[in-house]
Structure formats: structure tokens, C-alpha cells
Amino acid sequence: MIELNKIYNEDCLVGLKKIPDKSVNLIAIDPPYNIGKADWDLICKLIGKYDYKLLLNKYMKSRYIFNNQNLPSVWQHEPIKQNGHTTPKPIEILKNIILTSSNEGDTILDCFMGSGSTAIACIYTNRNYIGFELNKNYYTIAKNRIDTCLENNKLHIN
């Protein structure tokens, strides 16, 4: 059984099968840049019954939660400091996504945690997370960042 607030060092295509139905409120992913359509179709099949086009169509027609914060259409952020991952994302952007599309106490899934930015954004916004990261080195970086975040409760971690 999958535990909440934990990153698993495993292929998400394996890990996703262990997540019980209807236990995730929001999927927030930053997939590897070379992902192809065939991979998307497989991930969509594992996540639900939709293929990618149907999922996109459904998403366009209905958003379940949108906590409007009068956000502009383009969010500008400073590039973040390198943390050992090649493509880390700013925590503030992830916090915005999570705050606008989920509620406190919800569970957020990130299949491609990288250096753990989504997990840290979840800690700051009082959400639970489930994460997967295939690369052992990135998994260790993520784990260390999360431990530091929980220990220091710092407001700015990059």
C-alpha cells in the first residue's frame, strides 16, 4: 500500500498501480522533456480510463477546483538556484498551481518528482503528496531537501 507524504525511488509506471482509486485529488507533474505520445497514452491509461485526447477534452470543459486568486495569465519567476537536478522548478510556481487547483488536506500526485519541488510546495501549502522518482541521485536530493524543509520550516528553499 502506498504511504502518503513519501517519495518512492521507482518507475511511476510501476508505482501508479499501487495507488488506490479515487485517493488523489490533483495530479501535478513536470514530465521528462523527451516523453512521447506513446508514453502519455500509457500514463493516462494507468491514471484513469481516458486516453490523452479525451483527458485534455474533459479538462478543457470542466475544472473541479479553481481557487481564483486573480492570477495573471503569465507567471514570472526568477530562475532558481541549481540544486543538483538539471531542471528544477521554482517552488512558488508549484505553490500557485497547488493553491489554485486543490484544497488544504488534499493529496497531490507527482509522478516525476525530480528534486522534490512539488513535495516541498505541498508541505508549505498543507497538502499531502505521493511522488515517484526513477533516478537514485535525484531521489536522494529530493529526500534531503524535504528533510531540510521539515527540520527548518524555511520559507524559501530553492
Q: Is 147 in the site for ligand SAM (CB under 6 A)?
A: no
Work out the number of other CB atoms within 10 angstroms of the CB of residue 128.
19
Q: Which of 115, 121, 124, 149 binds ligand SAM (CB under 6 A)?
A: 115
Q: Are 158 and 91 in contact (CB under 8 A)?
A: yes
The CB-nearest residue to ligand SAM is: 114
Name the residue nearer to ligand SAM (CB basis): 30 or 92: 30
Q: Is 82 in the site for ligand SAM (CB under 6 A)?
A: no
Name the residue nearer to ligand SAM (CB basis): 97 or 111: 111
Q: How far apart are CA 7 and CA 22, in angstroms?
A: 19
Q: Is 41 in the site for ligand SAM (CB under 6 A)?
A: no
CA distances from 29 to 52, 70, 131, 136 (A): 14, 23, 10, 18
Which residues have a Cβ under 8 Å from the Cβ of 134 and sit 6 or more positions away?
9, 10, 11, 12
Contact positions vs ligand SAM (CB under 6 A): 11-13, 30, 32, 85, 87-89, 111-112, 114-115, 117, 132-135, 138
